[in-house]
Structure 1
Amino acid sequence: MKKKIARLASRLFVAGLLVAGVLFLQRPYRNRNEKLIVDPDSELAVHSPAVINIRSPLLTSTLGPPNISDFTFDEADMLDEHGKPYTIVIWKNINGKPGYMANPQECLGNVRCDVTYDKSNMDKVHAVVFPFDGLSSSGLPQNRQPWQLFAWWSLESPLHSSGGGSSTWNNFFNLTFHYRTDADVYAPYGSINLILRELKKAGETELEDLLQRKRGSDKIAAWAVSNCYQPRMSYAKSLMDAGLQVDTFGGCFGGKQLAGNRYSLEFYKALGEYKFYFSFENSIGCKDYFTEKFWFNGLRSGAVPIVWGPRKKDILKVAPTKSFIHSQDFDSPAKMVEYLNYLVKNETAYAEYLQWRTWNKYPERIETRLRMENRENDLRSFCKLCSLVQMHGRARKKGLSMPHKVIPSLHEAWQGAEKGLCHH
């Protein structure tokens, strides 16, 4: 059954890829039976029943017009022209949620690339992802091969990343790889579909179990922060001054730590005893910039995120409507605290912010805009990059070519899109 699911999913996988040098169109994708058949016990079942629509590229290359086979993979497509696995190199180690992977289990289809930090065999790798913060123009890859895709990756907002101000990076990268929805490879800090998968794997499908843990706790709000960015510190203080009970952790508060390692089940369990978590970012109004503070410290743990910094409309593009509380909805910190204290005393009203956690059991309740068929693929970003690598590789094995996009000005691509939006 797992192989059957993998074959089905591979026909649906390559969604949301902005292919170099291409035009895009919206067209429905259907498998041969015009409907998706899914084992109810599989990971795909959270999205079934469904008829999948994906955004497919109209290739302006020797590949000719698009057809279904352009966007599906068989097992042979997971190997390059030498019969070896495709390789993606991350140019330097970075902090973040561990486990960057692209394999059939994670990608739910015939997609596999070795993702590594090993740079010892650069002539043979197929794509390189450059985490840009602190990237130096010295020591870059020599003898770049014509098939290699170079992707620019940023985890920070434009206020805290240089964004290629130097002309060194003009015409160097083929792809942008970041959390903004205008990226060539969309690489958000999280997604609701990934969170649902994690909850299912952990056996956390019963909302009542989470509520019961909270009933046995007098913990209200938590905040872990080590970057003492003054505007968010001030806003947090105003909430505390207005009477909100907050337990603080991290370098800004003496280094006190939550239980367990970050992203561990113990960590999530400790945070899940709280009603709320402060999802406060280090930038204000930056397009699509909200991080693990929202997705994992908040949604994944079961502590409702209180959001400050990101634009509400950006969050609503990708998160359940009633899954967070945004500061912009209140005239003052005192008004927000009044509402939060109301929720503390009214479990029925509070539980409405957690109803999305029942979507694993009741997939028909998933909001239409968040259903997989209406999303550019919500799977791991390295799965999407690997899919693009495989598409190029398959073309090479056929003696064909695919156009490579080149980014003329990285600075304009990154900073230019934020003009008038992003500020301290």
Structure 2
Amino acid sequence: MLTWPPRSLPSVKVLITIGLFITMLWNLKYVLNLSDIFSRAPRHTKPLMILVWEWPSKQAPNISTDVCRDLYNIMDCWLTMDRRLYSLADVVVFHHDTLQKNRDKLPKEKPPGQNWLWVSLESPTNTKALAGWKQTFNWVMTYRQDSDIFMPYGKLVPNRSAMVNIPNKTSLVTWVISNYHRSQKRAAVYRNLSRYLHVDIYGKANKKPLCKDCLLPTTSKSKFYLAFENSIHRDYITEKVWRNSLMAGTVPVVLGPPRANYEQFVPADSFIHVDDFQSLAELATFLKTMNASRYRQFFAWQKRYSVKLYVDWRERICMICTKYASLRQGHVYPDLESWFKA
């Protein structure tokens, strides 16, 4: 039989102990990052499953193992190309080049909580068939800095070498070009620039293709490299700067977005912009008459940085897991074409 007041009440020491224990738990929320216990916001407690609808490159690698952990030290991130696991996938990745060829084969329904990611490293000029993609994709991963997942062709990462390495030079200007179209701005700039100086041209366009391991040794022998983009768009700065120029140890002469945009990626004194000169004749004179001391200044960035290239699609896709927690949940792009061509 219950009586009031109770025959025995908790002692003051017990109450104090309970109070201290609750306070300790509350503090641990911050100290140990146990906010999941105290928050109603849903969070993943299982590994993320990333389904790649079709592999972006021609040859798909083996991703049956835990490649994100083994190759890039990214934990709890599982990649698969097995479409039978579609209903279990947290994110489904669609690469535009393969997507536009098989758009009728997309799933008709999306499981609750699943997000679709549109991926493209091409510029808007070279990205076709965007008009039909409305209210389809939750996130985008591109070279644009305003993407949900920003994926540049390369970047500078801090190093501690404090050394400058300039390969021996045997030529003035080199250009490697595979797809040459006279209508492109870079073709017109080259034709006019070549009136004032000689350019060594390699690549399929000049019937001088370079083997995979021959590219950097070839461009490194040149003082300057024509890092001319095939089209001009914001943030569109490709391997022509990162690999063919900076990594090779030559100075990029760039044609692309404005200088200020390049300076968001690389130091202002590491490249030459075509727009810096009133004429191509003036640019040619600048290149031909540069002394050794002035030339060496273009490599000051090497004392602080080294080049990091993104060339493996496994790394790019694994990075989705590192960004997942900060991505906008429930967001859908109303018109992908309008966003990408803005």
For the criterion TM > 0.5, the same-fold answer is yes
Amino acid paired to 1:413: W
Alpha-carbon shift at residue 381 of structure 1 (Å) = 4.8
Work out the CA distance in 2 between the residues paired with 1:106 and 1:301.
Answer: 25
| Match in the other structure for 1:27 | none
**Equivalent residue runs for 1:262-341 within 5 Å:** 264=213, 267-284=215-232, 286-341=233-288
| Match in the other structure for 1:87 | 50
In the alignment, is the contact (CA less than 8 A) between 2:51 and 2:82 conserved in 1?
Answer: no
| Match in the other structure for 1:235 | 189
In the alignment, is the contact (CA less than 8 A) between 2:48 and 2:90 conserved in 1?
Answer: no
Amino acid paired to 2:54: W
| Match in the other structure for 2:302 | 357
Amino acid paired to 2:155: S
**Equivalent residue runs for 1:96-245 within 5 Å:** 103=68, 111-133=75-97, 135=100, 136-162=102-128, 164-166=130-132, 169-193=133-157, 206-207=163-164, 210-211=165-166, 213-214=167-168, 217-230=169-182, 231-243=185-197, 245=198
| 1:404 equivalenced with 2:324 (yes/no) | no
Work out the CA distance in 2 between the residues paired with 1:312 and 1:163.
Answer: 30
Work out the CA distance in 1 between the residues paired with 2:323 and 2:107.
Answer: 21
| 1:63 equivalenced with 2:27 (yes/no) | no
Alpha-carbon shift at residue 110 of structure 1 (Å) = 5.1
In the alignment, is the contact (CA less than 8 A) between 1:276 and 1:304 conserved in 2?
Answer: yes
Q: Normalising by structure 2, what TM-score?
A: 0.73
Alpha-carbon shift at residue 292 of structure 1 (Å) = 0.9
Residues 1:90 and 1:111: Cα distance change in structure 2 (over 3 Å): farther
SS in 2 for 1:318: coil
Work out the CA distance in 2 between the residues paired with 1:157 and 1:127.
Answer: 24
Question: 2:199 aligned to 224, 246, 269, which one?
Answer: 246
Residues 1:220 and 1:106: Cα distance change in structure 2 (over 3 Å): farther
SS in 1 for 2:338: helix
Work out the CA distance in 2 between the residues paired with 1:301 and 1:341.
Answer: 20
Deviations 1:70-109 (A, max 9, x none): 9xxxxxx7xx63xx5633425343379x9999735876x6
Question: 1:387 aligned to 303, 310, 322, which one?
Answer: 322
In the alignment, is the contact (CA less than 8 A) between 2:74 and 2:318 conserved in 1?
Answer: no
Alpha-carbon shift at residue 388 of structure 1 (Å) = 3.6
Work out the CA distance in 2 between the residues paired with 1:300 and 1:90.
Answer: 33
In the alignment, is the contact (CA less than 8 A) between 1:163 and 1:414 conserved in 2?
Answer: no
Residues 1:388 and 1:234: Cα distance change in structure 2 (over 3 Å): closer
Alpha-carbon shift at residue 189 of structure 1 (Å) = 1.3
Work out the CA distance in 1 between the residues paired with 2:62 and 2:194.
Answer: 36
Amino acid paired to 1:159: T
Work out the CA distance in 2 between the residues paired with 1:240 and 1:272.
Answer: 20
| Match in the other structure for 1:420 | none
Alpha-carbon shift at residue 140 of structure 1 (Å) = 1.0
Work out the CA distance in 2 between the residues paired with 1:414 and 1:62.
Answer: 35
SS in 2 for 1:279: strand
Work out the CA distance in 2 between the residues paired with 1:407 and 1:391.
Answer: 17
SS in 2 for 1:220: strand
Alpha-carbon shift at residue 326 of structure 1 (Å) = 0.3
SS in 1 for 2:105: coil
Work out the CA distance in 2 between the residues paired with 1:222 and 1:252.
Answer: 14
In the alignment, is the contact (CA less than 8 A) between 1:186 and 1:381 conserved in 2?
Answer: no
SS in 2 for 1:314: helix
Q: Normalising by structure 1, what TM-score?
A: 0.60
Deviations 1:94-143 (A, max 9, x none): 379x9999735876x65452445554532333222212135232111355
In the alignment, is the contact (CA less than 8 A) between 1:88 and 1:113 conserved in 2?
Answer: no
| Runs (5+) with no aligned partner, structure 1 | 1-30, 33-60, 65-69, 71-76, 362-379, 393-401, 418-424
Greater Rg over alpha carbons, structure: 2
Amino acid paired to 1:251: K
Work out the CA distance in 2 between the residues paired with 1:324 and 1:183.
Answer: 25
Residues 1:99 and 1:281: Cα distance change in structure 2 (over 3 Å): farther
Work out the CA distance in 2 between the residues paired with 1:176 and 1:165.
Answer: 16
| Match in the other structure for 1:49 | none
Alpha-carbon shift at residue 306 of structure 1 (Å) = 0.7
Amino acid paired to 1:276: F
Residues 1:114 and 1:277: Cα distance change in structure 2 (over 3 Å): farther
Work out the CA distance in 2 between the residues paired with 1:238 and 1:99.
Answer: 47
Work out the CA distance in 2 between the residues paired with 1:280 and 1:172.
Answer: 34
